[in-house]
A = this chain, B = another copy of it.
Amino acid sequence: MNGAESLINALAEAGVDTCFANPGTSEMQLVAAIDKQPKMHAVLCLFEGVVTGAADGYGRMADKPALTLLHLGPGFGNGTANLHNARRAFSPVLNMIGDHATYHLQYDAPLTADIEGFAKPVSAWIGLSQSADDLAAVGLQAWAKAQDYPGRVTSFIAPADHAWTETRSASAIPAVAAAPTAASADINAAVEALQKGSVAIMLGAMALREDALWQAGRIAAASGARLITETFFTRMQRGAGRVPVERLPYFGEQGADYLKDFENLIFVGTKPPVSFFAYPDKPSWLSPEGATLVQVADATVDALDALTRIADLLDAPAEPTVLQPRAAHALEHGAINSVALGKVIANRLPEHAIVSDEGATNGLGAFLMTACAAPHDWLTLTGGAIGQGLPVALGAAIACPNRKVVALQADGSGMYTVQALWTMVREDLNVTVLLINNNSYAILNIELARVGVQNPGPTALSLLDLSNPCIQWTAIAQGMGMSAERVTTVVDLDDAMARAMAARGPHLIEVMV
Contact = CB atoms under 8 A, between A and B. Distances in A.
Give how many copies assemble into the complex: 2
Given A28-B447, A452-B29, A111 B475 contact: no
6 nearest A-B residue pairs (beta carbon): A469-B481, A77-B80, A475-B479, A74-B385, A476-B479, A101-B278
Interface stretch (A124-132, A218-226, A417-425): A417-425
Contacts of A122: 77, 113
14 contacts: A26-B277, A28-B444, A74-B385, A75-B385, A77-B84, A77-B385, A78-B80, A104-B275, A110-B276, A114-B121, A117-B117, A472-B480, A475-B475, A476-B479
A78 B47 CA distance: 11
A235 to B, nearest CB: 16
Interface string A441-471: 0011001101111001111101100101111
A462 B44 contact: yes
Contacts of A470: 481
Given A121-B117, A383-B110, A478-B475, A459 B34 contact: yes
A501 to B, nearest CB: 23
A284 interface: yes
Contacts of A32: 448, 453, 456, 460
A456 B35 contact: yes
Interface string A302-339: 00000000000000000000000000000000000000
A118 interface: yes
A277 B23 contact: no
A36 interface: yes
A290 interface: no
A196 interface: no
Interface in A393-440: 412, 415-416, 418-419, 422, 425-426
A138 interface: no
B453 A28 contact: yes
A31 B459 CA distance: 8
B384 A110 contact: yes
A160 B451 contact: yes
A459 B44 CA distance: 10
Contact of A113 (B84, B111, B452, B458): B84
A354 interface: no
A150 interface: no
Interface residues of A, number: 99
Given A108-B274, A384-B110, A452-B164, A77 B81 contact: yes
Contact of A31 (B113, B161, B419, B448): B448
The A interface is mostly helix, strand or loop, or mixed, namely helix
A73 interface: yes
B36 A444 contact: no
Given A101-B278, A457-B36, A451 B29 contact: yes
Interface in A80-110: 80-81, 84-85, 88, 100-101, 103-104, 107-110
A397 to B, nearest CB: 16
A46 interface: yes
A120 B116 CA distance: 11
A99 to B, nearest CB: 10
A24 interface: yes
Given A84-B73, A280-B164, A452-B29, A109 B274 contact: yes
B472 A160 contact: no
A258 interface: no
A42 interface: yes
A157 to B, nearest CB: 13
Interface string A125-164: 0000000000000000000000000000000000011001
Contact of A103 (B284, B419, B474): B284
A57 B472 CA distance: 27
B480 A471 contact: yes
Interface string A261-282: 0000000000000111110100
A25 interface: yes
Interface string A36-68: 100000101011110000000000000000000
Contacts of A443: 25
Contacts of A493: none
